[in-house]
């Protein structure tokens, strides 16, 4: 298998986001109805802000179809921290997009298990994800595939680790309000995307990023599955790249510290 890994260390998280947003705009120029997988949380926010700037400058995203990676189970319908609401707030409304083009597993529509099963089929029926935006958990999770998740996992209902729940509690008024269950795309589901675009910033992510790119490929670090994918890009700020050793990586860092 030919592997393509483009790793760029940018001057800031905003610059990393703008770089990925620009590459997404190139994809959409070439394929206006591209299918883009979207992550929630803090990491992709600069990407969506970058896309907003590009839309203001004329980029047309109206035909794009968006698929979310995951959704909490256990929140009331319409809760502002449900990933449907978050993505509408940080992506769909600011960019003037049609909410009907955003697919998010809806655990209220049927049993969460049935919703999970149907979600993989929805992705396939839409033609498959062209580019999947990924954040990474401090414990190496992608989507909500926590350490120990098999690489052949599909979309399913699963539990968040106590570490992830604690990390996510910053979005809720208390830990007890923070959901412990979710529907997440599995690692096999994520790996079917044509391209995986990981974005990370901050020193809390440095160890996970290094383990994902340089460590052993196994279920202890779910993001190490990226090493098995033929087309991956990684956009980091300097803090998230602190433990990346170019010699160990075996690929040239394509754009070293960019000005902006
Ligand atoms: C979110 C998701 C998670 C996050 C990860 C990092 O949809 O699937 O894998 O990307 O937990 O979260 P942040 O970016 O908030 O540090």
Mutational pocket test of ligand 1: of 16, 137, 183, 193, the residue with most ligand atoms within 8 Å of the beta carbon? 137
Mutational pocket test of ligand 1: of 41, 83, 91, 199, the residue with most ligand atoms within 8 Å of the beta carbon? 41
Pocket lining: 143 vs ligand 1, CB cutoff 6 Å = yes
Mean model confidence pLDDT for the chain: 94
Pocket lining: 199 vs ligand 1, CB cutoff 6 Å = no
> What is the per-residue pLDDT across 18-69, written as a single tens digit (0 to 9) for each?
999 999 999 999 999 999 999 999 999 999 999 999 999 999 999 999 999 9
Tokens of 213: 């790119």
Pocket lining: 70 vs ligand 1, CB cutoff 6 Å = yes
State the pLDDT confidence band at 3, using cuts at 50, 70 and 90. Answer: confident
List the residue whose alpha carbon is closest to atom 2 of ligand 1: 143
End-to-end CA distance of the chain: 34
Question: Ligand 1 centre from 168 Cα, in Å?
Answer: 9
Pocket lining: 142 vs ligand 1, CB cutoff 6 Å = yes
> What is the per-residue pLDDT across 30-43, written as a single tens digit (0 to 9) for each?
999 999 999 999 99
Pocket lining: 161 vs ligand 1, CB cutoff 6 Å = no
Question: Ligand 1 centre from 196 Cα, in Å?
Answer: 14
List the residue whose alpha carbon is closest to atom 3 of ligand 1: 143
Pocket lining: 41 vs ligand 1, CB cutoff 6 Å = yes
Counting atoms of ligand 1 from 1, which one is nearest the CA of 134? 10
Pocket lining: 202 vs ligand 1, CB cutoff 6 Å = no
Reported pTM: 0.95
Counting atoms of ligand 1 from 1, which one is nearest the CA of 44? 14
pLDDT at 246: 72
> What is the per-residue pLDDT across 209-232, written as a single tens digit (0 to 9) for each?
999 999 999 999 999 999 999 999
Pocket lining: 144 vs ligand 1, CB cutoff 6 Å = yes
State the pLDDT confidence band at 251, using cuts at 50, 70 and 90. Answer: low
Mean pLDDT of 111-123: 95
């Amino acid at each position: 298998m030919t592997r393509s890994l483009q790793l760029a260390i940018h001057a800031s998280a905003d610059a990393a986001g703008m770089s990925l947003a620009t590459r997404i705009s190139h994809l959409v120029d070439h394929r206006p109805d591209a299918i883009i997988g979207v992550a929630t949380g803090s990491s992709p926010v600069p990407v969506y802000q970058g896309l907003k700037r590009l839309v203001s400058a004329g980029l047309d995203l109206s035909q794009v179809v968006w698929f979310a990676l995951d959704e909490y189970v256990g929140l009331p319908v319409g809760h502002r921290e449900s990933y449907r609401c978050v993505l509408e707030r940080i992506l769909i409304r600011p960019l003037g997009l049609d909410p009907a083009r955003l697919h998010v597993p809806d655990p209220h529509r049927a049993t969460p298990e049935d919703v999970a099963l149907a979600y993989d089929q929805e992705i396939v029926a839409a033609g498959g994800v062209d580019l999947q935006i990924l954040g990474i958990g401090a414990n190496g999770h992608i989507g909500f595939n926590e350490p120990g998740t098999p690489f052949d996992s599909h979309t399913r209902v699963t539990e968040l680790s106590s570490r992830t729940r604690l990390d996510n509690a910053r979005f809720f008024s208390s830990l007890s309000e923070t959901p412990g269950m979710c529907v997440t795309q599995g690692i096999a589901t994520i790996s079917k995307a044509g391209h995986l675009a990981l974005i990370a910033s901050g020193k809390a992510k440095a160890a996970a990023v290094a383990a994902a790119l340089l460590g052993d490929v196994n279920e202890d670090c779910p993001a190490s599955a990226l090493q098995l994918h033929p087309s991956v890009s990684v956009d980091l700020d300097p803090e998230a790249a602190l433990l990346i050793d170019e010699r160990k990586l075996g690929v040239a860092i394509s754009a070293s510290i960019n000005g902006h």
